[in-house]
Amino acid sequence: MTSSSPAAPSDTSAIGQGISRFVAFATSPEAKPARLGALGAVLIAAGGLGAGSTRLHDPLLESLHLSWLRFGHGLVLSSVLLWVGVALMLLAWLRLGRSVIDRTATEYTMIATTAFWLAPLLLSVPVFSRDTYSYLAQGALLRDGFDPYVVGPIENPNSLLENVSPIWTTTTAPYGPAFILVAKFVTLVVGEDVVAGTMLLRLCMLPGLALLIWAAPRVARHVGANGAAALWICVLNPLVIIHLMGGVHNEMLMVGLMMAAIALTFSGHHFWGVSLIAVAVAVKATAGLALPFMVWVWARDLRHRRGYGPAKSFTAATVASALVFVAVFAVLSLAAGVGLGWLTALAGSVKIINWLTLPTAAANLINVIGSIFMQVNFYAVLDVARIIGIAVIAISLPLLWWRFRHTDREALVGIALVMAVVVLFVPAALPWYYTWPLAVISALTQGRRSIAIIAGLSTWITVIWKPDGAHGMYSWPHVLLATACAAGAWYSLYKTPAVSTARPAEPSIS
pLDDT value at residue 504: 41
pLDDT value at residue 346: 66
Picking from 8, 402, 44, the residue whose alpha carbon sits closest to that of residue 241 is: 44
- Which sequence spans correspond to the domains of the chain? 27-125, 127-346
- Nearest-angstrom CA–CA distance, 120 and 500: 33
Picking from 189, 208, 209, 207, the residue whose alpha carbon sits closest to that of residue 198 is: 189
pLDDT value at residue 486: 97
More confident of the two residues 10 and 256: 256
**Confidence class for position 10, pLDDT limits 50, 70, 90:** low
pLDDT value at residue 127: 94
**What residues does 127 pair with on adjacent strands?**
none
**Contact call for residues 324 and 274 (beta carbons, < 8 A):** yes
Question: Residue range 174-202: average pLDDT?
Answer: 94
The answer, yes or no, to whether residue 509 has pLDDT greater than 60, is no
**Contact call for residues 205 and 198 (beta carbons, < 8 A):** no
- Nearest-angstrom CA–CA distance, 448 and 101: 6
The answer, yes or no, to whether residue 422 has pLDDT greater than 70, is yes
More confident of the two residues 72 and 209: 209
**Contact call for residues 161 and 154 (beta carbons, < 8 A):** yes
pLDDT value at residue 5: 47
The answer, yes or no, to whether residue 510 has pLDDT greater than 60, is no
Question: Residue range 336-365: average pLDDT?
Answer: 80
Question: Residue range 118-145: average pLDDT?
Answer: 94
Picking from 284, 476, 112, 251, the residue whose alpha carbon sits closest to that of residue 242 is: 251
Q: According to the per-residue pLDDT averaged within each range, which of 17-26, 53-62, 165-174, 195-204 is highest?
A: 195-204
pLDDT value at residue 69: 75
Picking from 106, 97, 89, 91, the residue whose alpha carbon sits closest to that of residue 28 is: 106
The answer, yes or no, to whether residue 102 has pLDDT greater than 50, is yes
pLDDT value at residue 8: 54
Q: What is the mean pLDDT of the chain?
A: 90
The answer, yes or no, to whether residue 2 has pLDDT greater than 60, is no
Backbone angles phi, psi at 105, to 5 degrees: -75, 150
The answer, yes or no, to whether residue 352 has pLDDT greater than 60, is yes
What would the 3-class secondary structure string for 409-460 be? Answer: HHHHHHHHHHHHHHHHHCCCCCHHHHHHHHHHHCCCCCCHHHHHHHHHHHHH
pLDDT value at residue 23: 92
Query: Using one digit for the tens of pLDDT, what is the confidence trace for 425-440?
Result: 999 888 999 999 999 9
- Nearest-angstrom CA–CA distance, 8 and 12: 6
Which amino acid type is present at position 457? L
pLDDT value at residue 47: 93
What percent of the chain shows pLDDT beyond 70? 92
Question: Residue range 279-291: average pLDDT?
Answer: 96
- Nearest-angstrom CA–CA distance, 171 and 137: 11
Q: Enter the pTM of the model.
A: 0.92
**What residues does 465 pair with on adjacent strands?**
471
DSSP label at 124?
S
| 110-114, 143-147, 352-356, 407-411: the lowest-pLDDT one | 352-356
| Three-class SS state of 129 | coil
The answer, yes or no, to whether residue 228 has pLDDT greater than 70, is yes
Query: Using one digit for the tens of pLDDT, what is the confidence trace for 137-158?
Result: 999 999 999 999 999 999 999 8
- Nearest-angstrom CA–CA distance, 437 and 423: 8
Query: Using one digit for the tens of pLDDT, what is the confidence trace for 258-271?
Result: 999 999 999 999 99
pLDDT value at residue 348: 62
The neighbour count for residue 441, using CB atoms within 10 Å, is: 23
| 18-22, 246-250, 400-404: the lowest-pLDDT one | 18-22
**Confidence class for position 354, pLDDT limits 50, 70, 90:** confident
pLDDT value at residue 506: 45
Query: Using one digit for the tens of pLDDT, what is the confidence trace for 438-447?
Result: 999 999 988 9
Alpha helical stretches, state H, 146-249:
177-190, 194-222, 227-234, 238
What percent of the chain shows pLDDT beyond 90? 73
- Nearest-angstrom CA–CA distance, 46 and 83: 11
Query: Using one digit for the tens of pLDDT, what is the confidence trace for 457-506?
Result: 999 999 999 998 888 888 889 999 999 999 999 999 999 887 554 444 44
| 2-11, 39-48, 161-170, 339-348: the lowest-pLDDT one | 2-11
pLDDT value at residue 347: 64
